[in-house]
Every structure is written in structure tokens, then in C-alpha cells.
Amino acid sequence: MPGIIHYLTIEKVAMHGYGLGFADGKAVFVPFTMPGDCVNVNVRIEKKDVIFGTVAEYIDASDLSQQPECDAFGGDNACGGCDWLMAPYRTQVYWKTELIKQVFEPLKLQDRVKPCVPSPQPQHYRNKSFLPAGKSETDLYFGMYERYSHNVIPHKSCLLQPPVMDEILQQIVSFARTAQLDPYNETTQKGVLRHVGIRINKAQDEILLILVTKGSKFPFTKQFVQTLTTRFPQITGIIQNINRSVGNVILGDEDKLLYGSPCLNDLLGGVKYRLHYKSFYQVNSATAEKMYSHIKKSLKASDTVLDAFCGAGTIGLYVCGSVKAVHGVEEVPEAIADAEYNRQLNGFSNAEFHLGLVEEVLPALMRKHAFTAVVLDPPRKGVDTASLMAVASAQIPTVIYVSCNAMTLARDLKTLLQSGYQVEDITPFDMFPQTWHIETVARLSLPEENRV
């Protein structure tokens, strides 16, 4: 196979945001392309049956193609934040439904997949962003990593996050330029600024600013705080997080509170939430409300619910007023502290939260409570085997599995199917518009005849 493939027709979309075509009997995956595109492709990686490439030239564009509104999208040195800005939003939502059907076809569950629920806000939806710092020959900037690399692609505006985030970043750039703060260099391991994180609530009247630095020294701290809070009075907390490691993990274990509070207050579906800056929270608040309402409708007033991997209690507390009781389990201390605080804040007396690993806490809880429903909301790696088997052994009648990784969801559903459960429906939610990423909720039941 030569170094370039000429006149490749893209036939479908694939996971990870690729367009898929075929050449000489091999599948060819190309980012920033869509069905109907005809492209010349630079071969990047070639294996026995598959090729990964990049666009060398667009010969012809799909009839559905639209002009992206971002200068950093597609082509050489493209930002890796978006995959599908060239496609109309309704087309993106259709693609996501079809991708989820493909994932579950081997389990013969494709007919259980419902149409993807679109985001009420296709742009500027992110309530959290962590952006790495970079530096050109003349200036410091923030941006997103280029695909396949740690090269930071600069941008002054982003279609995924609220404009106020871009304004804050530009203010930080201006301050860093004056204070001569250099970005951290992964090669030399020198420099101060590694990342800037911004979290914002739904009303956009509270903002947390997180500065991730290589060491504890951060010059002109008072001036920095005064400059940012004067310009942006909605900033309610500024945290310096110190990451001394040489790896690519964003946050370190040390932090300093430079201003205000390390927590943010938000309101979803009438439920109040306080969130520590390290606590997990869905990045798209409007879609999260739709998803949580879907989960609530899947539960009964008589249910005693186990909320596994509960984080700050967002799902458990959202459904708390509609069920008999909720017991949440989470391993992150800050998140459990948020969950307990939020329980008291909302006056819920029928919820309890437990700190620990799900697989370790679960057996004791199941001996004390007759759970009739469990909500699983694990990280991307899915549910560990021990926890999954504990749920299956307890024969909890209803399982609701929330997943940001359809592949691990399919793997775990296979285990539950083998344990006697049946899948009622699988509903994708577009938590991440303009990207290929999909949040999926599967609802399972255990028929009476399959219970021991």
C-alpha cells in the first residue's frame, strides 16, 4: 500500500469519530470525514486488515457537509476537541443512534436501541473544561491537544464551552504574559502553568477557576486573584492545584485555596447540588436533566435504590423524592462529602451515602437492605467483575446502567444477560454534541422465572 490512498469514498461513520472507507480489501479510518466525502488519504498506520490515515486532500464533499464555524477544526494541526463540526446536528444525532445499534448487534440487542435523545444545547454546553497551556515563539496560549499528540492547538474561542470561559482564559494569558509565567514543558519539565480548569453552574452565576501548576510557587497571587475577580465577579473560587508528576494526569494531590470556596452550587430539576472542584459531574447540564428524568421514570415509588458509583449523589438525589430510599456508594472522599452535604441541603431523610469501593461495600449493604433497583454509573472502564456478580447474586429486579463507554457497557450487559437479566431498552443521550462520544442508559429487568 503506498503512502497515499487516492479517491477514497467514505461510506459510513465509525466509533472514535472516524469516517470509514475501503481500499484493497482493508478498512480505512479517517478523522474529520463523513459518508459521501471523497478524499485522498495520507497513510499513518497500516496493519494487516486496517489502515488509519489523515486527509491529504478533499476531492468532493458530502451533500450533507457544512462549513465548520471553527478555524481549529480539521486539516493539519487540528484541535482534537470536536469530531463532527462539518455535519448538521440532526445528522450527528442520527449517527449516534446507528453507532450504538452497531455496538449491540453482536448481542442481538440492536432492536432495543431507542433514538438518541438530542442535546437541548448543541453548542456552548460544557460546564467544565481543562485546557493545557502551550507557548509559541512569542506568546503563551491555551488550547486543546491535537489528535495523536500532546501538541497544544491554540484557540481564542471554542464552540463547546460558554464564551465567558474564553474571556477568562484570555485574561489569564494577559496576566501570565505580564508576570512572565511560562507554561510547563513536558520535555524539559520546566515551567509553571500546566492546565487551567473552569467549572460553571447552569445559571452561569458561579464559576470555579482551577490553576494546575508544576510546583507550589505561584508569583503575584494576590494581584492575580484581584485581577480575575474584579473582571469576573461571578468567580466564587480560585484553587491552585499542584501536580508535581511527570505523567499526563491533569490534577495532583495537593492544592491551595487562593480565593473563595473550592465548591460550586448548581440546581438541576429542582434539586440543589454543591460540588467540590474534584467531584464528577456531567459536563452537559441540559442533557443530564433529560437523562436523570428518564432514570426517574424507570423507578417506582416503592423502590429501595442502590446508587453505585454515586459521585456527589447527583442521580440518587435527583430520584430521591420519587422512591422509598436511596443508598449511594462512592470511593472519592470529596464526592461523598458533597453527597452528604447535598442530602442535608435538600432535606432528604430517605438517603444514605457510604464511602468505599463498590465491590467492598456492596455485600454488607445487601445484607441489610432489600434493594429493588440499582443504578450503575461507573467510569469508562465499566463495572468490575466482583461488583457485577454481587448485583447478579442479589437478584435485584431492576438494573439501570449509565455508561459513557458503549463497548464496556456491552461487555457488562453480556454478563448480566448470562445471569438471567433481560434488556428492556437502551437509550443514547447526546451529552457531547459535535463529538462522537455518547452517554447511554440501559434498563434491565430480572423476570420472576429467572429468580432463584
Q: Tell me how crowded residue 77 is: count the other CB atoms within 10 A of its CB.
A: 11
Mean pLDDT for the chain?
93
CA distances from 104 to 312, 351, 381, 447 (A): 30, 34, 17, 21
Is 158 a known active-site residue?
no
Query: Residue 40 and residue 385: Cα distance in Å, rounded?
Result: 44
What pTM was computed for the model? 0.93
CA distances from 159 to 91, 122, 309, 408 (A): 18, 9, 30, 29
Biggest distance spanned by C-alpha atoms of the chain: 71
Q: For residue 75, is pLDDT > 80? A: no
* Minimum mean pLDDT range among 225-234, 258-267, 359-368, 394-403: 359-368
Return the closest-CA partner of residue 431 out of 93, 169, 197. 93
What's the pLDDT tens digit per position in 231-243?
Answer: 999 999 999 999 9
Grid coordinates given for 46:
497500516
Q: Domains of the chain, with CATH numbers?
A: 4-65 (2.40.50.140), 100-120+284-450 (3.40.50.150), 128-267 (2.40.50.1070)
Which residues, other chains included, contact 199 with Cβ-Cβ below 8 Å and sequence gap of 6+? 127, 128, 207, 208, 210, 264, 275, 277, 281
* Residues above pLDDT 70, as percent of the chain: 99
CA distances from 432 to 169, 298, 379, 390, 396 (A): 22, 23, 16, 32, 31
What's the pLDDT tens digit per position in 242-251?
Answer: 999 987 889 9
Q: Which amino acid is at 293?
A: S
pLDDT band at 71 (very low <50, low <70, confident <90, very high): confident
Rg (CA), the chain: 23
pLDDT band at 2 (very low <50, low <70, confident <90, very high): low
* Minimum mean pLDDT range among 6-10, 190-194, 439-443: 190-194
Among 116, 158, 310, 404, the one annotated catalytic: 404
Query: Residue 316 and residue 307: Cα distance in Å, rounded?
Result: 6
What's the pLDDT tens digit per position in 346-396?
Answer: 999 999 999 998 888 988 898 899 999 999 999 999 998 888 988 888 889
pLDDT band at 186 (very low <50, low <70, confident <90, very high): confident
Mean per-residue pLDDT, 62-70: 93
Return the closest-CA partner of residue 248 out of 378, 408, 130, 74. 130
What's the pLDDT tens digit per position in 114-162?
Answer: 999 999 999 999 999 999 988 887 778 888 888 777 788 888 889 999 9
* pLDDT at res. 339: 94
Query: Residue 414 and residue 84: Cα distance in Å, rounded?
Result: 31
In b/e form, how buried is each residue of 426-442, taking b as 16+ CB within 10 angstroms? Answer: bbbbbbbbbbbbbbbbb
Grid coordinates given for 5:
490512498
* pLDDT at res. 390: 84
Return the closest-CA partner of residue 176 out of 135, 235, 130. 135
Axis crossing angle, helix 221-231 with helix 163-179, rounded to the nearest 10: 150
Q: For residue 91, is pLDDT > 60? A: yes
Q: Which long-range contacts (CB under 8 A, 24 or more apart) does 383-391 make?
A: 383/308, 383/358, 383/412, 384/358, 384/359, 385/415, 386/359, 387/308, 387/358, 387/359, 387/362, 388/412, 388/415, 388/416, 389/415, 389/419, 390/359, 390/362, 390/363, 390/366, 391/308, 391/362, 391/416
Query: Residue 86 and residue 340: Cα distance in Å, rounded?
Result: 44
Grid coordinates given for 391:
448485583
Residues forming beta bridges with residue 241, ordered by sequence position: 212, 255
Return the closest-CA partner of residue 313 out of 326, 299, 295. 326
* pLDDT at res. 291: 98
Where are the alpha helices (H) located in 54-107, listed in sequence order? 89-104
Q: For residue 444, is pLDDT > 80? A: yes
Instruction: Give me the phi and psi of 259, to 5 degrees please.
Output: -165, 140
Which residues, other chains included, contact 430 with Cβ-Cβ below 8 Å and sequence gap of 6+? 92, 93, 96, 116, 117, 118, 119, 284, 287, 438, 439
